[in-house]
Amino acid sequence: MSEKIQKVLARVGLGSRRAMEEWIDAGRVSVNGQVATLGDRIEEGDELRVDGRVIDFATEEDSIRRVVLYYKPEGEVCTRTDPSGRPTVFDALPKLKDQRWVAIGRLDINSQGLLLFTTDGDLANRMMHPSSNIEREYAVRVHGQVSEENLEALRNGVMLVDGPAKFDEIVDRGGEGTNHWYHVILREGRKREVRRMWETQGVQVSRLIRVRYGDVLLPRNLKAGRWVELDKDSIDQLAESCGAALRKRTGLYGRAKARSERAVEKEVRRGGYLRRRRY
């Protein structure tokens, strides 16, 4: 089965598909000794080179579909590299060979909580696409007085600069003084959407934690800055929820799985378990 060259190059971790298209247009890519052009396809057994260097690759069907759940702490950015030298969410992820991690959604630098990463770009795109209608749940601590009228407005919909937005559900989780916790659910992932929605009601979000993405929950015993790998059943459930095809090569097996589990167990023992979080 053939694939577009830019898709293969992106999967092995050389850059985004758009960047790979620019490389192809610049004549840096060749297949079987011939300079590639945009739209060309490649299949197993072809010789792929970039700037004369042979690139090892596997077909999409032969590559392993993996998903990791990462607990993003505050202060990390959701980019591969940062000009300001700030830590990125990719720094702590397990290393890959001939593949690259693709983030499923983002969180701003001041937010924390659940982030999913996968080696399957199609799965990531489907999970993020509005047509998949996948829920995101956040624990939100707001500072200021919130009335029932404010909550009703957020349920019915408020107008942001990039269009209307609303919470599908708001659950009061209590609090003290002017600091109050709520759990909110929505099905979009616009930039700073949760914060901006609360700001329309004259209150500021002082803490924001994503605790669920679809059916995947943030584990209570996972320390911030650590990750866990999802098993085949969990990954297949994600794929079915967004209409992605199932794959045989899903999740880690054998020695690779055992090594991953030992690494996670070691981090948990060293870091200890979190106290029960209030959210």
User: Are residues 276 and 229 in contact, defined by beta-carbon separation less than 8 angstroms?
Assistant: no
> Among this protein's residues, is 91 annotated catalytic?
no
Residue pointed to by tokens 């940062």: 82
Rounded CA gap, 273 and 177, in Å? 29
Task: Say which of 82, 108, 122, 231 is annotated catalytic.
Answer: 108
Rounded CA gap, 140 and 57, in Å? 43
Provide the strand spans (E) within the chain.
3-4, 29-31, 34-35, 41-42, 48-50, 53-54, 67-72, 102-104, 112-118, 136-143, 158-160, 163-165, 169-176, 179-186, 204-213, 216-217, 227-229
Q: Over the range 228-267, which residues count as b (16 or more CB within 10 Å of their CB) and which as e? A: bbbebebbbebbebbebeebeebbbeeeeeeebeeebeee
User: Are residues 171 and 135 in contact, defined by beta-carbon separation less than 8 angstroms?
Assistant: no
Rounded CA gap, 189 and 18, in Å? 22
Q: Name the residues annotated as catalytic.
A: 108
